[in-house]
């Protein structure tokens, strides 16, 4: 039953039970880490064969991958990911590891050179602001903040960002130049954007002529169920709506092959791709094509990627299931927390009583359970409700996930009952 | 004998002979490329073993190289290159391929965030200028030009840049924020900086508090003789001179292992390294450590690098020797050209009669011999004397180098005799 409906005595008893459980938890001296969305060693083992690839060095078109050149990346690698990322291969760019780097660099070039067809550089604007659907990805926020870009939070609902709010902001404020989007299995709450949301993002009038959607499709193929979520094709919808240059699509193999040794992708309109290639051509004499070839030999084709992701799912789906089972058992019906049940991606979003997320994270840390700092899911690390906690269950092995989530549930019960008693 | 001392008849006879040779050259329908400083396939073959490395995935400190993290790069890789690049390992950063990228990014961060201890961002300066010793590396110039940085040419002599000129410019002009240096086996004329030049660079007073030396030690271990050139330790000299943060050191394995799949390095003072790491940490969750491990397994240690470079030398030294032999045979004593005799690096600088380099390059192109555009060795592609041509002999195999240089010498004779006849 909902704890807020308990009598004072019942609530006190629950609090005392939680205290005993918490003390016992601390006594165990755990050291568990649920902070970051990292693949586990067993997931990385799935790509072990890559450690002795590619063996050869010649691309399909005869290019010697060992030498300089080929700024757009290997054509055969781009062909594999074209459909998965919903970007025509000719408009897809394959780079070194880290899609975050590509996001960084597109912002740098917009700041220092301006975007195609727009005379003014962002650095010459009085102010540049990005919309940040919340909860969202802390590294997106940190990246924009590092360049002095103002972060404007926008609430998420279960179809994506609240489009009424988004449309209002971009229509009225010409300094709003971008929006961060993780459109599929969103970090951290697992929401996938509805077709209507994508359509409205593509079509909405914007006061800024150089407004860009930063479409971080980080979890394009990271399904947790047998029925993959499909999202609408942002580039096609932008083109159809007369805004062909609006979206920058990003993706990577960081959570497919090796998190530290993957390949990142950028896809957009022909004008945007030429723009980025032009600037990238001054920065480097080409990406690591050997790593591209390695990925081609290992993944082979689109079906190969999907089959490989099925093996990932076998390893991580039980962890997500365990989190849900334990939270349901420990907190279900108490009203002390709600949590997401994602169909893909890397995270679970746990919402606790308003004003108590920081305290829960702090209690968990004291018990040896490291969580992403409360607030990290919001711009400037400031969650006004202080209620959202991001859970990253992939990295620890299953028994550790179970231990950690059990412990976390105890912290939620303790902080929650204390809070209710304060209010009583 | 010097052609300028020939009688009109003798000169005409030489011109006619050159014309016949040139016509015969064009008839051959060659297709040869001396444009870029790329390793040949046989050089890349020296590192073939890397195509099936690393095999394992664990760094010396237990780090799983497959996963995220480790922004400074593998310690054991940094240890291998520390001495070779004259940077303490703790102050060395190992990144992805392309040192050019690191140069780009340091400029970006100086533009958008300012340098350590300096309040003002370069982008807020009325003007930012870099000194460019000429002849120099076209990609350095293009990189700075792309950001609107003014390029000021400074003459090179056989000890490096003319330090009287450099000292005068940096002392008087606070907008001079940087200087491009390739201190060893300089691109393209092979000059290595004397100890005195390095000492003066480190010690000179500069009007700009945020002046930086971009020390591109691209050819640190790329010797063409048995007696490697040693240059003075720029970081140590800067520190001793009370300018600890003055130098950014760059290097890479692009011309050691794979040009397209190497590792790049940045080294500097602790303050500069922290500054770059801080900004890089927003851009990426770490470099490709698998490639770092691959390099460690293949190169093993400093001696392994030097032994590997000895094998490169066996392949490319005969090409440099052939260039010198052919140019000496065809042009020696004519006064139509002079050329560098580098002790290392990747280039030979050929100086032809003033005002004729473009025409020589153009004639060569018509005969199927592609050369780097005349002027590329100077800022804005503008060589005021129109006399310097960069020769890159490493990529073609030896018989092709011989053909190409023989053809080039014919072009020099043709254009040179025509020019002397015009003046006669």
The CATH number of whichever domain residue A407 belongs to comes to 3.90.1150.10
Is there a single domain that holds both residue A177 and residue A280? yes
Q: Which two tokens stand for residue A235?
A: 């580039």
Domain that holds residue A122: 57-301
Residues B330-352: what's their mean pLDDT? 97
Q: Which of B271, B301, B331 is the last residue of a domain?
A: B301
**B393, B348 in Cβ contact below 8 A?**
yes
Q: Are residues B61 and B37 in the same domain?
A: no
Kindly state whether residues B132 and B251 are assigned to the same domain. Answer: yes
Q: Domain containing A266 — which CATH number?
A: 3.40.640.10
Residue A405 lies in a domain: yes
- Residue B302's SS3 state is helix
**B:217-276 residues touching chain A, CB 8 A cutoff:** 254, 258-261
Half-sphere exposure of B60 (CA within 13 A, CB side): 11
CA distance B181 to B96: 22
Helix pair A289-299, A75-85: axis angle to 10 deg: 60
Chain A touched by B365 (CB under 8 Å): no
Start-to-end CA span in chain A (Å): 17
**Averaged pLDDT, B281-309:** 98
Looking at B301, B323, B348, which one is the last position of a domain? B301
Instruction: Name the residue with tokens 């003798």.
Output: B10
pLDDT in tens, B368-417: 999 999 999 999 999 999 999 999 999 999 999 999 999 999 999 999 99
Model confidence over B355-369: pLDDT tens digits? 999 999 999 999 999
Q: Average pLDDT by consecutive 10-residue portion of chain A (424 residues)?
A: 93 98 97 93 98 97 97 98 98 97 98 92 98 97 98 98 98 98 97 98 98 98 97 98 98 98 98 98 98 98 98 98 98 97 98 98 97 96 97 96 98 98 90
Check if the beta carbon of residue A182 is closer than 8 Å to that of residue A149: no
CA distances from A141 to A14, A179, A357, B128 (A): 38, 11, 20, 30
Q: Is residue B206 domain-shared with residue B350, that is, in the same domain?
A: no
Chain-centre distance of CA A279, in angstroms? 26
What's the pLDDT at A391?
97
Q: What is the pLDDT of residue A117?
A: 85
Q: Is residue A115 part of a domain?
A: yes
Same domain? B248 vs B294 = yes
Residues in chain A within 8 Å Cβ distance of B56: 51
Distances (CA, A) of B49 to A298, B258, B295, B299, B305: 18, 11, 10, 10, 14
The whole-angstrom distance between B230's CA and the closest CA on chain A is 28
Residue position matching structure tokens 């297709």: B31
The number of C-beta contacts closer than 8 angstroms across A and B is 163
Same domain, B293 and B324: no
Burial class (CB within 10 angstroms; exposed 0-12, middle 13-18, buried 19+) of B125: middle
**Under 8 Å between Cβ of B407 and B24:** no
Query: pTM for this one?
Result: 0.97
Does B198 reside within a domain?
yes
In this structure, are A395 and A323 located in the same domain?
Answer: yes
CA end-to-end span of chain B, whole Å?
17
CB contact under 8 A, A65 and B260: yes
Domain count, chain A: 2
Could you tell me how far CA A203 lies from the centroid of its own chain? 24
Angle in degrees, 0-180, between the axes of helices A138-146 and A99-113, rounded to the nearest 10: 30
Whether B49 maps to a domain, the answer reads: no
Q: What number is the average pLDDT over the span B1-9?
A: 93
Identify whether residues B266 and B325 lie together within a single domain.
Answer: no
Nearest to A284 among B100, B123, B288 (CB): B100
Give the pLDDT score at B117: 85
Q: Do B38 and A289 touch (CB under 8 A)?
A: no
Question: Does residue B392 fall inside a structural domain?
Answer: yes
For position A392, what pLDDT does the model report? 96
Residue A48 lies in a domain: no
B391 and B294 share one domain: no
Tell which A residues from 290 to 349 touch B, by Cβ distance under 8 Å.
Answer: 290-291
Query: What is the structure's pLDDT at B36?
Result: 86
What pLDDT sits at residue B307? 98
Same domain, A72 and A38: no
- In a mutational test of the B interface, the residue from A37, A64, A67, A292 whose CB has the highest number of chain B CBs within 10 Å is A67
Chain-chain contact of A143 with B260 (C-beta, under 8 angstroms): no
Contact: A55, B52; criterion CB under 8 Å? yes
| Shared domain check, A286 and A329 | no
The whole-angstrom separation of Cα A64 and Cα B221 is 24
User: Which residues, numbered 168 to 187 in chain B, qualify as contacts with chain A under a Cβ-Cβ cut-off of 8 Å?
Assistant: none
pLDDT at B118: 86
Domain membership flag for residue B52: no
- Nearest residue to B413 via CA among B5, B142, B18, B10: B18
Closest CA of chain A from B327, distance in Å: 28
For residues B41 and A347, what is the distance between their CA atoms, to the nearest angstrom?
46
Do A231 and A127 belong to one domain?
yes
Considering only alpha carbons, which residue of chain B is nearest residue A107?
Answer: B283
- Is B159 domain-assigned? yes
Output the pLDDT for position A119: 76
Residue A253 is predicted with a pLDDT of 98
pLDDT above 80 (res B1): no
Q: Does A285 touch chain B (CB under 8 A)?
A: yes
Above 90 in pLDDT, residue B171?
yes
Domain end call among B244, B267, B301: B301
Structure tokens at B359: 């025409």
């Amino acid at each position: 039953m909902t704890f807020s409906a308990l009598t004072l005595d019942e609530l006190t008893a629950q609090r005392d039970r939680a205290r005993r459980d918490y003390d016992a938890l601390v006594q165990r001296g755990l050291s568990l880490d649920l902070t970051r969305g990292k693949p586990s060693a067993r997931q990385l083992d799935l790509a072990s064969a890559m450690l002795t690839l590619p063996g050869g060095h010649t691309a399909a078109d005869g290019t010697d991958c060992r030498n300089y050149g080929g700024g757009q990346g290997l054509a055969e690698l781009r062909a594999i990911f074209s459909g998965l990322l919903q970007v025509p291969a000719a408009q897809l760019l394959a780079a070194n590891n880290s899609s975050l780097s590509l996001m960084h660099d597109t912002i740098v070039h917009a700041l220092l050179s301006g975007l195609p067809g727009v005379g003014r550089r962002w650095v010459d604007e009085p102010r540049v602001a990005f919309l940040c659907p919340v909860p969202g990805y802390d590294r997106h926020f940190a990246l924009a903040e590092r360049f002095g870009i103002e972060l404007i939070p926008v609430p998420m609902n279960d179809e994506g960002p609240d489009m009424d709010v988004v449309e209002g902001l971009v229509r009225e404020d010409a300094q709003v130049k971008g929006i961060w989007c993780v459109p599929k299995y969103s970090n951290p709450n697992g929401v996938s954007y509805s077709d209507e949301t994508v359509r409205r993002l593509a079509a909405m009038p914007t006061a800024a002529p150089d407004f860009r959607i930063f479409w971080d499709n980080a979890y394009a193929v990271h399904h947790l169920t047998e029925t993959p979520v499909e999202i609408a094709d942002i580039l096609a919808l932008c083109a159809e709506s007369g805004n062909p240059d609006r979206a920058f699509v990003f993706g990577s193999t960081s959570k497919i092959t090796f998190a530290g040794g993957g390949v990142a992708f950028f896809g957009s309109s022909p004008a945007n791709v030429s723009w980025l290639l032009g600037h990238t051509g001054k920065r480097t004499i080409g990406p690591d094509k050997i790593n591209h070839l390695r990925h081609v030999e290992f993944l082979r084709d689109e079906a190969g990627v999907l089959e490989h992701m099925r093996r990932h799912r076998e390893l991580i789906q039980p962890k997500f299931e365990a989190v849900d089972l334990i939270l349901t058992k420990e907190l279900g019906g108490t009203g002390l927390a709600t949590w997401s049940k994602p169909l893909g991606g890397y995270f679970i979003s746990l919402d606790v009583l308003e004003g108590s997320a920081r305290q829960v994270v702090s209690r968990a840390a004291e018990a040896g359970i490291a969580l992403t700092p409360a607030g990290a899911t919001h711009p400037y690390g400031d969650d006004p409700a202080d209620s959202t906690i991001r859970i990253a269950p992939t990295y620890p092995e299953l028994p550790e996930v179970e231990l950690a989530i059990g412990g976390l549930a105890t912290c939620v019960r303790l902080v929650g009952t204390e809070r209710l008693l304060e209010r009583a």
